[in-house]
Amino acid sequence: MKKILVLIFLFTGFLAYADNNQILIEEAGKLYTEGSYDRAIEMYEKVLENGFESAELYYNLGNAHFKMNDLAPAILYYEKASKLNPSDEDIQFNLAVANSRIVDKIETVPDLFYERWWNSLIFTFSVDGWAIISLVTFVLLLVVTLLFFMVDVVIIKKLAFWTGIALIVISVSSFALANQKYNSFKKDHEAIVFTPTVTVKSSPAENSIDLFVIHEGTKVEITDNIGEWTEIRIANGTVGWLKGVDLVKI
């Protein structure tokens, strides 16, 4: 009886938690429609503080910041939304528009053809999508395996055998893609510059050589950390050091 009461209590608490977040999101949506973007941001941030996140929530936060011309946080939240749902055209479009407004126009180093192919394959589906494909193909593999051992017809056994081989390849590959995409999502190796103007150094020291200047809103890759200093790589492949306080991780 006690266990049942505990489960009821937990379930009731979960429903209240979900309802509270939904109320905050709806209120934020109304404030956004009314043009109260700063108050909408406060509502959305309360939802984040509650531990809830989604591509739609980050997208809405990005839109609210963009409306206030806060490009760095707008790009940050669009990037977060893109991580959760990279195939969403609205997210990608708004991210491109926001990036077109920042000062730095850095030419991206093109990936090698196999890197482009692999990355394109990874982002064809979400983590859940690849996981479902892996699970479904594994179940089909079990069915085909049973068919192979239970049927005595040679043609069917051959068909079941080669179908099983193909399903093994698909299942293992989709699981590997799901795992790689999940690991990529969890890694905090990318960041957005939040300081209006930053001078990037040749080494982690104030008296080191000035290499180049970047501005707020620019996306960088984090490659190393030493104390308060962070080594970054920009889109054209150039590497340098700046202070970690100038960045917010995606």
Give the pLDDT confidence score for residue 23 in this predicted structure.
93
> Do residues 151 and 202 both lie within one domain?
no
Overall domain count for the chain: 3
29-49 pLDDT, tens digit per residue, is 999 999 999 999 999 999 999
Q: State the virtual CA torsion across 115, 118, 119, 122 in degrees, nearest 10.
A: -170
What is the CATH classification number for the domain harbouring 226? 2.30.30.40
Question: Quick one: average pLDDT of 184-209?
Answer: 90
For helices 89-101 and 71-84, give the axis angle rounded to 10 degrees.
150
Q: Is residue 108 part of a domain?
A: no
What is the CATH classification number for the domain harbouring 29? 1.25.40.10
> Do residues 180 and 241 both lie within one domain?
no
> Do residues 38 and 120 both lie within one domain?
no
Give the pLDDT confidence score for residue 192 in this predicted structure.
97
Q: Is residue 106 part of a domain?
A: no
Question: Quick one: average pLDDT of 144-165?
Answer: 90
Residue 166 domain boundaries:
113-186
108-139 pLDDT, tens digit per residue, is 766 667 666 776 777 677 777 888 888 899 99
87-114 pLDDT, tens digit per residue, is 899 999 999 999 999 999 888 766 667 6
Give the pLDDT confidence score for residue 7 in this predicted structure.
38
Least confident stretch, 55-69, 163-177, 203-217 = 163-177
Q: Is the pLDDT of residue 250 over 60?
A: yes
Question: Quick one: average pLDDT of 54-80?
Answer: 97
Cα separation, 31 vs 16, in Å, equals 22
Per-residue b or e along 83-122, where b marks 16 or more CB atoms closer than 10 Å to that residue's CB: bbbbebeebeebbeebbeebebebeeeeeeeeeeeeeeeb
> Do residues 15 and 95 both lie within one domain?
yes
Prediction pTM value:
0.70
For helices 2-33 and 55-67, give the axis angle rounded to 10 degrees.
30
Give the pLDDT confidence score for residue 112 in this predicted structure.
67
Residue that terminates a domain, selected from 171, 186, 201 = 186
Closest CA to 28 of 42, 18, 16, 14: 42
Give the pLDDT confidence score for residue 187 in this predicted structure.
63
> Do residues 53 and 139 both lie within one domain?
no
Give the pLDDT confidence score for residue 125 in this predicted structure.
73
Give the pLDDT confidence score for residue 162 in this predicted structure.
93
6-28 pLDDT, tens digit per residue, is 434 443 444 444 578 999 999 99
> Do residues 96 and 138 both lie within one domain?
no
Q: Average pLDDT over the chain, rounded to whole?
A: 87
For helices 55-67 and 71-84, give the axis angle rounded to 10 degrees.
160
Residue that terminates a domain, selected from 137, 152, 186 = 186
> Is 94 within 8 Å of 63 (Cβ atoms)?
yes
> Do residues 85 and 151 both lie within one domain?
no
Give the pLDDT confidence score for residue 69 in this predicted structure.
96
> Is 164 within 8 Å of 144 (Cβ atoms)?
yes
For the ranges 147-151, 200-204, 233-237, the maximum mean pLDDT occurs at 200-204
Cα separation, 34 vs 36, in Å, equals 6
Cα separation, 199 vs 69, in Å, equals 23
Question: Quick one: average pLDDT of 211-215?
Answer: 96
- How buried is residue 233: exposed, middle or buried, by Cβ count under 10 Å (0-12/13-18/19+)? middle
β partners of residue 242: 230
> Do residues 126 and 143 both lie within one domain?
yes
